[in-house]
Amino acid sequence: MGRNIAFLFPGQGSQFVGMGQDLVEQFPGVEHIFRETDQICGKSITSLSFEGPMSELTLTENCQPAVTAVSLACLSVLNESGVKPSVSAGHSVGECASMVSAGVVNESDALRVVHKRAMLMHREALANPGSMAAVIGLDMEGVQEIVAEAKNGGILDVANHNTAQQIVITGQKDPVARAVRLAKEKKAKAIPLKVSGAWHSGLMQGGVDEFRAFMKDIPFSPPRSDMMFNATAQCETDPERIKDIIANQLVSPVRWYDTMRKMLDDGVDTFVEVGPKKVLAGLLKKIASPDDTVNVFTVQDPKGLESVLEAIS
């Protein structure tokens, strides 16, 4: 059966204690990914992933490489089983694994990039405290109106456009609090998020140039298969332009809704979430219309892999 397959890679917030462990037990060939992650990070990300504690695993500098390692392990077993995507995308830090899927970077360099990214974001969050909130029940135009009104000279941005009416805002604490009040006045839900930084806001600006400089000597290649990027909701083929997009993603919104709609409109009919949990699968089910033909799978363990192989064989 011919299928147009997309691989989707989850971001921070998808972590759970025990992730990746049964994959390593059944597919020992992926163990090197975890060993290399530990070496690059200078600590046992593997132990945190397999055994916790959750409080340590959730820390940005641990969570981002841990989720990436698990996603890369899942990607590896999919590829070894002969399943390849026609297009890839990753949600926020998920772009690092997505670049491996598309052939932009190798596993080792993706892990180096994600480690640097996590450390920079952690540093900027400590230096520039902020907060985030999810607004549910307003479209993008409505949220942008609230952001413009609540900003009042401060830093307030859209972080994630996850579904048509699930949009995350980010920035300094006072503007975010004002925006939450305004959203509630418009009868929308506005839920403060438990995060350690104002991700994808101007408060991360101090890390952008350093991140771009770090990637200068890392070899990026033109994608072998399509990859759609968060900041643009478009594909890109030029390696230097890709480095710019990845660096600027720290302060750019994750245009996930636009990305998924573009894939659906382009005829992608099979979506595989590659990595821990099922967050992106859940978002996709809210984005897809009744007219869309959509098959959604998740691969975070051997059982998920088996389901995908049975479905597409």
The CATH number given to whatever domain includes residue 209 is: 3.40.366.10
Judge whether 286 and 294 are in contact, CB under 8 Å. Answer: no
The answer on 120 and 136 residing in a single domain is no
Query: Which SS3 state, helix, strand or coil, does residue 96 take?
Result: helix
The answer on 112 and 47 residing in a single domain is yes
* 100: its two tokens: 């491996």
DSSP 162: E
Backbone angle region of 97, left / alpha / beta, with phi > 0 → left and psi within -120 to 50 → alpha: alpha
The answer on 122 and 250 residing in a single domain is yes
pLDDT of residue 3: 76
69 assigned to some structural domain: yes
Q: Could you tell me the CATH number of the domain that includes residue 174?
A: 3.30.70.250
61 assigned to some structural domain: yes
- CA dist., res. 29 & res. 10, Å (int): 22
Q: Is the dihedral of CA 172, 123, 46, 91 positive or negative?
A: positive
The answer on 120 and 25 residing in a single domain is yes
The answer on 136 and 70 residing in a single domain is no
The answer on 236 and 188 residing in a single domain is no
Q: Among residues 165, 192, 219, which one ends one of the domains?
A: 192
The tally of CA atoms less than 13 A away on the side-chain side of residue 36 is 19
CA dihedral 42, 205, 132, 130 (to 10 degrees): 90
> Do the strands 270-274 and 189-192 form a parallel or antiparallel pair, or are they unpaired?
unpaired
The answer on 172 and 76 residing in a single domain is no
**pLDDT mean for each 10 residues of the chain (313 residues):** 84 97 97 98 98 97 98 98 97 98 98 98 98 98 98 97 98 98 97 96 98 98 98 98 98 98 96 98 96 94 95 82
The answer on 266 and 219 residing in a single domain is yes
pLDDT of residue 1: 38
pLDDT of residue 153: 95
245 assigned to some structural domain: yes
Burial of residue 141, with CB atoms counted within 10 A of its CB: 0-12 exposed, 13-18 middle, 19 or more buried: exposed
* Total of domains in the chain: 2
Burial of residue 151, with CB atoms counted within 10 A of its CB: 0-12 exposed, 13-18 middle, 19 or more buried: middle
The answer on 213 and 99 residing in a single domain is yes
Other C-beta atoms lying within 10 Å of the C-beta of residue 152: 11
The answer on 55 and 154 residing in a single domain is no
> Phi and psi dihedrals of 182, rounded to 5?
-65, -40
105 assigned to some structural domain: yes
Backbone angle region of 187, left / alpha / beta, with phi > 0 → left and psi within -120 to 50 → alpha: left
Give the total residue count for the chain. 313
Judge whether 7 and 101 are in contact, CB under 8 Å. Answer: yes
pLDDT of residue 149: 97
Judge whether 114 and 67 are in contact, CB under 8 Å. Answer: no
* 82: its two tokens: 């002969």
The answer on 232 and 144 residing in a single domain is no
- Domain extent, residue 167, equals 130-192
Query: Which SS3 state, helix, strand or coil, does residue 271 take?
Result: strand
Active site residue ranges: 92, 200
227 assigned to some structural domain: yes
Q: Among residues 169, 192, 215, which one ends one of the domains?
A: 192
197 assigned to some structural domain: no
- CA dist., res. 243 & res. 233, Å (int): 15
The answer on 122 and 68 residing in a single domain is yes
- CA dist., res. 285 & res. 278, Å (int): 11
Please tell me the pTM assigned to this model. Answer: 0.97
Distances (CA, A) of 285 to 48, 59, 279, 289, 295: 31, 29, 10, 8, 10
Strand partners for 297:
272
